[in-house]
Structure formats: C-alpha cells, structure tokens
Amino acid sequence: MADRMEPVLPGSFLGILGGGQLGRMFTQAAQAMGYKVCVLDPGSDSPAGAIAEKFIQADYTDPAALKEMATVCASVSTEFENVPAQALDALEALGVFVAPRSSCVSLAQNRIAEKKFLATWKAETNIGPAPHFVIEHDADIRHVPAELFPGILKTARMGYDGKGQATIYDVDALTTAWNEFGSVPCVLEKRMDLDFEVSALVVRGYDDAVMAYPVSQNIHRNGILHTSTVPAPSLKPEQEKKIIAAAKSLIRKIDYVGVLCVEFFVLKSGDIVANEIAPRPHNSGHYTMNACVTSQFEQQVRAMARLPLGDTRLLAPVAMLNLLGDLWFEEADAPKEPAWDQVLAHPDVKLHLYGKSEPRMGRKMGHVNCLGESLGAVRQVCSAVALELGLEP
C-alpha cells in the first residue's frame, strides 16, 4: 500500500515486543522524539513496560493482545530475537509496519539456518562462518570430521550470553554434551585461533538507505560482554573497511529494516570469520548513546517510523563497561547499591541503569560509557571505574 511508505510522525504510537532493557532504551529514545510507546511483554514488572505510555501484559502470541497492539501502533519492532516469528507475522497481517520482518528474525533464531545463510553469503564478501557440522540425530555424531575438534557445541535455538554452549575435545565428550542438552539440534563449531572479537552495527531504512557505525572491539567474561571499545584498538583500517562492507551487504541481502548487529572473529592469521547475527540494537552498540551523533536506539525509531536515518559519526573515543548484578553483592549476601558517586566523580563517565526491580548474579543491570580525547584516556578511565566497582579492568 502506498500509504505504508509515508513517515510515522511524532505523536503516534510505536510498538515494541519485549520489555527488557533494550526495550526500555528504545522507549526512552522514542519518547525523546515525541512518540508514545506500547510495550507487549508477559512479565508484570518489565523495565520498558514501567515507562511506556501503554503496557500490555500478555504472551507474545496472544491474538487479542496482538490485535490491541495493532489497533494502537502504526509500526512495531522487537527488542530481542527470541520473540516468536508468528507474532510478527500476525501484526503484519493486521496491517502494521513491522521492522524487522519475521523472516529476518527467524534467521537469527536458529543457528543452523544462520550458518547456512552465512556460508552462502561468503561468495559475496569473502567472509564466512567458522567450520562447523550440524547435529540433529545420534547418528550424525559418528560423521563429525576429526578436524572440528576441539570445538564448541551450541544449541540451535535459545542460546545467548554463553548459555547452551560447551567446549568439546572428542567424540565421547560430544555425545555426553549433546545428551545433556536434551538431544536437541545443535551446531559443532571448530574452535578458532582467535585474536579478538568485533561487532559491526548497521541500520537500513525502508528506502534502502544503509548506514554503519564504527566497529567496536569486544571483551567477554564468562560468556557475557564485559567491554566494547571504539575505535577498535586492534583492528586494521582495511579489516574495518571489509567488515563494514560485509555487514552492509548482509543487511540488504535479507531485506532488513532497522538496526542489525553482526559479530565477527578476527583470527591471529588476520582472517575474519562471521560469528552470529543479532536482529536488533545490541549490547555492544550501547556506546552510541553518548559517543555518536545518533544512538542505535534513535536509529531504530527512525527506521521504524520511515524517517531519514541519522548520522553515525563517532564524536569521541569510548569504552562501554557492562554492569552485572554481581556488583550489588560484593560485600554481603544482601544486595547493596554500588558507589555510583565514585563512578560519577569521573566527569567523562555516563551511567545508564536499566530500572530492573532486583539485582541478580549475572543479570544485566546497566552500563557505563567512558569517554575521552584518546583511546589511552578512555582505557584509563574505564580501568579506574572497573577497579572502583571491584571488577577486572
């Protein structure tokens, strides 16, 4: 329909499936631009639902809830990839502009489909997935190539932040781990000689305009993102150029509208391997909230509302430090608020807390963006903040 391409102007309702911290930061960005937000989430105390103009507490596939959302919202997105694809299809069938569409989200919901896509994409970009083997039946284990050991076994669905993963050294360990995962479909990936990991954040508008952010270099602890640093300290200019071109190619190839993150491994050989796709604003893109002209959340609003995309230029070097619930339990069993006054004594540090009702070990509670005039200054501030909070720098 022609009117589907008209912009959705401020004052209108935008919808978000999922009420977590990504939904909350999206809601804040939308409200700052004059939009109202409707959040659909099964939980009663979601961080996004607490600040949205309208909150629908229901299952993502509840027909009545989706119909209510479609009545209110001109455009809907999702804050995480495990929202059922049928919910997005149902909203689109009800006449809502859905960005990204279910076909894009489905791709990232299943590692088998994702790896198959990344393998076909290699012909265009010369960047492909790690060598891997799909395991769907007991008999498949006997055919795993020996060169894939040691490897990492990953469940095809619902794995994130290191969950649903196990390091495997031989066939016996593979059999044991597969059984422990409930014999669900899995992918065994060869463990690569990794130098470092990076994320490419790209956004595509409804009109095929594509913008890319500077690539971030990521450090993980216990499978959860710890820091993202921009500009990526170890990345060569030609590698960044290749990664950004590949991410731009990918977002167009799957006809994706909105913000998309592609994670890459840079090997010690200098080769680049595609790790995974996240069809949404991403933890490693939180640095954009203070260090770029346009944050990733504002970009998601612009793409959903069919507005021109914003400038992705980096205004200052930055390091994002993730804040987990562990910080609240440093000294005692009962949670205690960390010393934010010490953190904010650094004038170039920006604190973002997610409004979650209670801290838990390993739970993402917030992040800080440490800015500076140089990468050296940024690292110094980030290390100081980490030490003040009792974290490894």
Which domains does the chain show, CATH number per domain? Answer: 2-98 (3.40.50.20), 131-190 (3.30.1490.20), 194-388 (3.30.470.20)
Pick from 55-59, 71-75, 142-146, 309-313: least confident:
142-146
Structure tokens at 26: 């999206």
Separation CA 19–CA 80 (nearest Å): 9
How many Cα atoms within 13 Å fall on the side-chain side of residue 289?
A: 28
Look over the chain and give the mean of its residue pLDDT values, rounded to a whole number: 94
Contact between 265 and 204 (Cβ < 8 Å): no
Segment 357-368 shows an average pLDDT of 94
CA torsion sign, 333 to 337 to 342 to 346? positive
Pick from 109-118, 154-163, 331-340: least confident:
154-163
Pick from 93-102, 251-260, 327-336: least confident:
327-336
What is the per-residue pLDDT for 392?
Answer: 83
CA of 344: how far to CAs of 199, 236, 368, 380, 392, in Å? 27, 33, 10, 15, 18
- Global pTM value: 0.94
**CB-count exposure of residue 139 (10 Å: 0-12, 13-18, 19+):** exposed
What is the per-residue pLDDT for 22?
Answer: 97
* N residues, the chain: 393
How many Cα atoms within 13 Å fall on the side-chain side of residue 132?
A: 25
Segment 276-294 shows an average pLDDT of 97
What is the per-residue pLDDT for 109?
Answer: 87
More confident residue, 126 or 162: 126
> 8-65, pLDDT tens digit by residue?
999 999 999 999 999 999 999 999 999 999 999 999 999 999 999 999 999 999 999 9
What is the per-residue pLDDT for 95?
Answer: 96
Segment 285-313 shows an average pLDDT of 98
Q: How confident is the model at residue 161 (pLDDT cuts 50, 70, 90)?
A: low
Segment 219-246 shows an average pLDDT of 96
Separation CA 247–CA 278 (nearest Å): 12
